[in-house]
Amino acid sequence: MLGIGRGGPLGDALPADDALTASRSPAFSGTAAAPAAIEAAERDAWVVLAGVHGVGPVSFERLVGSFGSVVAVLGEAASQGAVSRLIAASYGPGGESPTLTAEAARGIVAAAADIDRRLAVVRASGVIVVTLADEAYPTRLRRIELPPPVLFVRGEVEALDRARAIAVVGTRRPTEAGRSLAGQIADAVAGLGATVISGLAVGIDAAAHESAVRAGRPTVAVIGGGHERLYPAANRGLAASIVGGGGVVVSEFAPDTEPSRGTFPRRNRIISGLADATVVVEAGSRSGALTTAAWALEQGRGLHLVPGRVGDPTVAGCLAFLREAAPEARIVAGVAELIEDLGLLELSAGSHAAATGDHQLTIDALMGSLGPAERALAAALATGSASVDELMIATASPGAAVLGALTSLELRGLVFEAFGRYRAAGQLAAAHGPGAMARTRQGGPTGRAA
């Protein structure tokens, strides 16, 4: 992350966390449209494991890779001597250090003995669960290096994956000018049809969310703790307004998770990961908004920072970041210029054509637009998920050809991958109607109707 941590461009590194330091491999209501991509028992297991403190995306993936499923991970955790075996399963390829600590491993053991209660907490909260194996999982977030395995959502899940999304973040102690500018930017972004993403903090975040709500547009709030421990409490009314306005409040943490100093940097990577670009409005030298900025660059997303007067502490972080990260980080020279730089004028111009359905392809036209290798894979994936090896057998194609065709289909939004298995997505999934990829209404961790 360009050496930029929570303390700002010249500050300390991010706090240690296996999800961040290891390499990859009634005020509320809402519904989610997502396929039943995994069985109910496995979905419940995902919820339980994801809720264990110290189990981040990397440990989650390695455990699933070692034991084959999350149900199997919890089964192993219920056996004698499980702690050492769980830790061993979290070693990386080539002997990389384990990402799972003894404390986290004991947490998994405790969770395996307390499954019903933990699921009851999730169900009682009324949140919607979206897993990485669901088509409803937001596309942009799926593409980052450390996507959270499970999202806990209140509101309209579809708001997480609209055509364009811009993050607007900044200090919790803004000037009146900064607060006003954040509102102007969010109003302009929302008015042009893009979704405003932010972190529901006081200050710049709240100003951005409030502006989008006033504009009658959906906005996405990513929180750094569980829904039942919403922080700051002063923004509970704002959170309810976001959900009531067609937006969403989302977290990777189980509903009863207390927010802490370590949870917010993880939250910040999701803010930037859900957005096409991040705009930072006022950030001091130790502002947490700078971690969001750093994640945006790390994820290959656009980054725009509002400059200010030299010597002004409210913008010291922005200025230092611009000095270190230019030219990848761009200066915000004005709201109109920013909108142009974000490419939102083109989005506005094309919105009418999209609404009339001029660009909707029939299945025949869709298949006809694919090359031979892509067509063969599309046909093979129409009936369900498959690994690369299974696709090689089904299409009688070498591995390199299958991987190349899968990459092409992923870039077109027609295929997605979760833990080594590929599934049809987008128009390819919709074209086959009811079946393996049928859309169902998800109402919680067991997939009950909302």
| Selected residue with higher pLDDT from 1 and 197 | 197
Confidence (pLDDT) at 435: 37
Q: For residue 432, what pLDDT is reported?
A: 53
Pick the more confident residue, 434 or 419: 419
Q: How far apart are CA 236 and CA 419, in angstroms?
A: 35
Residue type, 143: R
Between CA 326 and CA 219 the distance in angstroms is 29
How far apart CA 313 and CA 294 sit, in angstroms, is: 19
pLDDT digits (tens, 9 = 90+) for 370-416: 778 888 888 888 777 788 888 888 888 888 888 888 887 877 777 87
Same domain? For 146 and 76 the reply is no
Highest mean pLDDT among 258-262, 267-271, 388-392: 267-271
Same domain membership, residue 105 and residue 75: yes
User: CATH no. for residue 408?
Assistant: 1.10.10.10
Q: Could you give the CA distance from residue 96 to residue 393 in angstroms, rounded to a whole number?
A: 32
Assign 39 a pLDDT band (cuts: 50, 70, 90).
confident
Residue range 75-94: mean pLDDT, rounded: 90
Residue 72 lies in a domain: yes
What's the per-residue H, E or C state across 183-239? HHHHHHHHHCCCEEEECCCCCHHHHHHHHHHHCCCCEEEECCCCHHHCCCHHHHHHH
Same domain, 188 and 71: no
- Examine residue 381 and state whether it is found in any structural domain, yes or no: yes
Convert the pLDDT of each residue in 305-333 to its tens digit.
Answer: 999 888 788 889 899 888 888 888 899 98
Does the pLDDT value for residue 141 go beyond 90? yes
Q: What is the mean pLDDT of the chain?
A: 81
- Do residues 89 and 67 make contact, with C-beta atoms less than 8 angstroms apart? yes
Tell whether 212 and 301 lie within a shared domain: yes
Q: Does residue 255 carry a pLDDT above 90?
A: yes
CA distance 258 to 222: 15
Q: What is the DSSP string of 117-151?
A: HHHHHHHHHT-EEEETTSTTS-HHHHTSSS--SEE
Last residue of a domain, one of 126, 154, 186: 126
pLDDT at site 363: 61
292 and 391 in a single domain? The answer is no
Q: Are residues 214 and 238 in the same domain?
A: yes
Which domain range does residue 419 map to?
A: 363-442
* CATH code for the domain in which residue 215 is found: 3.40.50.450
Per-residue pLDDT reduced to its tens digit, 41-67: 899 999 999 999 889 899 999 999 999
Q: In whole angstroms, give the CA distance from residue 396 to residue 405.
A: 13
In this model, does residue 364 exceed pLDDT 70?
Answer: no
pLDDT tier, 362 (very low <50, low <70, confident <90, very high otherwise): low
pLDDT at 190 over 60: yes
| Residue 46 included in any domain | yes
Domain check: are 143 and 290 in the same one?
A: yes
Domain count for the chain, please give it.
3
119 within 8 A of 218, measured Cβ to Cβ: no
As given in the structure block, the two tokens for residue 104 are 């986290």
pLDDT at 268 over 60: yes
* pLDDT for the residue numbered 427: 67
Instruction: Say yes or no: 102 and 176 in one domain.
Output: no
Q: What is the pTM of this model?
A: 0.73
Residues 298 and 166 in one domain: yes
Residue 30 maps to a domain? no
243 and 276 share a domain?
A: yes
Higher pLDDT, 227 or 192: 227
Q: Which of 196, 220, 201 is nearest to 278 (CA)?
A: 196
Ordered alpha helix ranges (H), 224-299: 236-244, 263-273, 289-298
Domain boundary among 297, 317, 351: 351
Flag the least confident range among 28-42, 376-390, 423-437.
28-42
Last residue of a domain, one of 296, 330, 351: 351
What pLDDT score was predicted for residue 238? 96
pLDDT per position as a tens digit, 65-76: 999 999 999 999
Interhelix angle 82-89/102-112, rounded to 10 degrees, is 120
d(CA 198, CA 211): 12
Look at residue 26 and tell me if it is in a domain.
Answer: no
d(CA 337, CA 322): 17
Q: Are 437 and 380 in contact (CB under 8 A)?
A: no
Written as six digits, the tokens of 75 are 């089964």
Type of residue numbered 237:
G
